[in-house]
């Protein structure tokens, strides 16, 4: 499995940096975002280091399906009964800060559309 020793999310997967875990399976990890933008804000990441959503290949299809399903599971478990949002920022125009794929799971308040 690909990892990057300088990547903050790979360090979380390795257990070298603490995180408040909300989901884990063989290929996916979920944890609370350090700077929440809503009452509930978690990140779902592949355990494998993949820099951006544009670096996905067909071999990742199963993992990404699991990542999306895990996002729903986390939202339901968090009691976001009114709904939630799943967001993936890709590259700088979208504001991607951490170059290890992650989906934001955000909820617990009314969210505006379109996003800023």
Active site residues: 102
Residue 41 CB, shortest distance to Zn ion, in Å, is 20
- Which residue in the set 4, 25, 33, 73 belongs to the binding site for ligand AMP (CB under 6 A)? 33
Whichever of 35 and 110 has its CB closer to ligand AMP, that residue is 35
Binding site for Zn ion (CB under 5 A): 4, 7, 9-10, 49, 100
15 near ligand AMP, rule: CB under 6 A:
no
- 50-89: contacts with ligand AMP (CB under 6 A): 89
Residue 68 CB, shortest distance to ligand AMP, in Å, is 16
- Exposure pattern of 42-59 as b/e (b: 16+ CB <10 Å)? bbbbbbbbbbebeeeeee
Element (H, E) at 42: strand 40-46
Tokens 């494998």 correspond to what residue?
Answer: 48
For 14, which DSSP code? H
d(CA 23, CA 98): 19
Residue 28: strand, helix, or coil: strand
Report how many residues bind ligand AMP under the rule CB under 6 A.
12
């Amino acid at each position: 499995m690909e990892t990057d020793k300088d990547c903050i999310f790979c360090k979380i997967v390795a257990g070298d940096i603490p995180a408040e875990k909300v989901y884990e399976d063989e290929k996916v990890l979920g944890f609370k975002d350090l700077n929440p933008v809503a009452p509930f804000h978690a990140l779902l990441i592949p355990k494998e280091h993949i820099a951006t959503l544009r670096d996905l290949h067909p071999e990742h299809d199963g993992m990404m399906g699991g990542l999306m399903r895990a996002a729903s599971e986390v939202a339901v478990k968090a009691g976001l009964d009114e709904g939630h949002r799943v967001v993936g920022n890709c590259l700088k125009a979208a504001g991607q800060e951490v170059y290890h794929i992650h989906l934001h799971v955000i909820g617990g308040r009314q969210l505006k559309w379109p996003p800023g």
